[in-house]
């Protein structure tokens, strides 16, 4: 069996997906990155190998996510793409007439406007936690509720509490006040869900005109309370794909397969056992003082990135 491999390495999760020739998901892996992207990629690669048939051949590999360059070096990616492109491609593959992609991960969130499979506009939030999954994780912890149960509590709400969502500090202050006056946990939880959605739309959709069909992606899409809050705010149905949590990896795999790769650069599943090392330094060759990252195996430098002029990338011995 031939398959395409997609890898999405973010600050919170590392996701790998294998697609067959019909672009169907054969196997997928979802692991926590835990601040160690190389270890997470190697662990996930080893786990994926066990799920695939022994005669599987990888025809193309795509990498995306905040650590996409690092992941690309580790596995030998044929294509390295940004998250916007990867998520847009995956959404368009799943829902061909999609016009708006809502994506919320653990540390960032994205809004992508599309037309006929083409990205028209997008916005990203990488600095405010109040519009991301970490916001919900933190509040669930304060309420002593497993995050997996958050959506179930939200759906039981009858009179959701009005909670300020523009900042985690204000949200926590409101939440404590609501608890003190006897507001039910269910109403607080759904109030928090609505607050996150308001923050997301106020920040990312400001000045834009999102239209349906809407596709909701990312780990937070599993939360039924957030889905309901989006549908109320947008007054439209929101579609949650079956593999919503690994859509970035799916998009990367589709892109890699469509790139007409004659021979893949894939290192092989043995990459799970190679001892990679990383280091970084500030290049003082000019006033830019770029921070350059190196990936090595033993004493050989495999890749460099981060410099504006490209001299460090060009200095690598490819033989």
Out of 6-10, 67-71, 238-242, pick the least confident: 67-71
Out of 119-123, 143-147, 220-224, pick the least confident: 143-147
Mean pLDDT of 107-113: 89
Residue 36 has pLDDT above 90, yes or no: no
Structure tokens at 87: 């998520």
Mean pLDDT of 185-213: 88
Out of 4-13, 60-69, 269-278, pick the least confident: 269-278
Residue 178 has pLDDT above 60, yes or no: yes
Out of 39-53, 111-125, 195-209, pick the least confident: 195-209
Mean pLDDT of 213-232: 92
List Cα–Cα distances, 151 to 123, 126, 165, in angstroms.
Answer: 26, 24, 17
| Block residue for tokens 């016009």 | 99
CB 45 within 8 A of CB 274: no
How far apart are alpha carbons 70 and 64 in whole angstroms? 10
CB 62 within 8 A of CB 83: no
Domains in the chain, CATH or no CATH each: 2-87+249-273 (3.30.420.40), 96-240 (3.30.420.40), 276-314 (no CATH)
Query: Where do the H-state alpha helices sit in 95-167?
Result: 133-142, 150-155
How far apart are alpha carbons 155 and 86 in whole angstroms? 31
Please tell me the total number of residues recorded for the chain in this structure: 319
Torsion angle of the four alpha carbons 10, 15, 21, 22, in this order, in degrees rounded to the nearest 10: -90
Query: Where do the H-state alpha helices sit in the chain?
Result: 37-51, 68-75, 83-94, 133-142, 150-155, 168-180, 185-204, 224-234, 247-257, 311-314
How far apart are alpha carbons 41 and 274 in whole angstroms? 11
> Which pLDDT score, from 0 to 100, does residue 167 have?
64
Helix (H) or strand (E) holding 242: none
Out of 33-37, 53-57, 62-66, 295-299, pick the least confident: 295-299
Return the higher-pLDDT residue of 114 and 139. 114
How far apart are alpha carbons 53 and 70 in whole angstroms? 27
Mean pLDDT of 142-153: 84
Mean pLDDT of 185-206: 87
Residue 86 has pLDDT above 70, yes or no: yes
What sign for the dihedral angle of Cα 109, 111, 116, 121? negative
> Which pLDDT score, from 0 to 100, does residue 131 have?
63
Structure tokens at 295: 């990936």
Coil, strand, or helix at residue 127? coil
Residue 281 has pLDDT above 70, yes or no: yes
Residue 135 has pLDDT above 80, yes or no: no
Tell whether omega for the bond before 48 is within 30 degrees of 0, i.e. cis.
Answer: no
Q: Name the percent of the chain lying above pLDDT 70.
A: 94
Residue 128 has pLDDT above 50, yes or no: yes
Residue 106 has pLDDT above 70, yes or no: yes
């Amino acid at each position: 069996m031939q398959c395409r491999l997609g890898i999405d390495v973010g600050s919170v999760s590392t996701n790998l997906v294998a697609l067959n020739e019909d672009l169907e998901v054969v196997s997928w892996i979802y692991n926590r990155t835990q601040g160690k992207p190389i270890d997470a990629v190697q662990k996930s690669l080893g786990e994926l190998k066990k799920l695939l048939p022994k005669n599987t051949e990888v025809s193309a590999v795509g990498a995306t996510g905040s650590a996409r360059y690092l992941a690309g070096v580790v596995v030998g990616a044929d294509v390295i793409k940004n998250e916007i492109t990867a998520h847009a491609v995956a959404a368009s593959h799943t829902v061909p007439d999609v016009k708006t992609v809502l994506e919320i991960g653990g540390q960032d969130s994205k809004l992508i406007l599309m037309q006929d499979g083409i990205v028209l506009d997008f916005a990203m939030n990488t600095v405010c936690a109040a519009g991301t999954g970490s916001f919900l994780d933190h509040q669930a912890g304060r309420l002593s509720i497993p995050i997996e149960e958050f959506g179930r509590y939200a759906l039981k709400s009858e009179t959701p509490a009005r909670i300020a969502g523009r900042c985690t500090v204000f949200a926590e202050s409101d939440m404590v006040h609501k608890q003190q006056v006897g507001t039910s946990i269910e109403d607080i939880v759904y109030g928090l869900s609505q607050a996150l959605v308001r923050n997301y739309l106020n920040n990312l959709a400001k000045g834009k005109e999102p239209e349906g069909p809407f596709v909701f992606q990312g780990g937070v899409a599993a939360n039924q309370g957030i889905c309901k809050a989006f549908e109320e705010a947008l007054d439209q149905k929101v579609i949650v794909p079956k593999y919503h949590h690994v859509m970035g990896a799916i998009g990367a795999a589709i892109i890699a397969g469509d790139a007409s790769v004659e021979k893949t650069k894939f290192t092989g599943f043995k990459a799970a056992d190679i001892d990679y090392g990383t280091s970084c330094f500030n290049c003082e060759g000019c006033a830019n003082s770029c921070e350059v990252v190196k990936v090595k195996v033993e004493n050989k430098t495999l890749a460099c990135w981060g410099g504006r002029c490209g001299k460090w990338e060009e200095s690598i011995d490819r033989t």
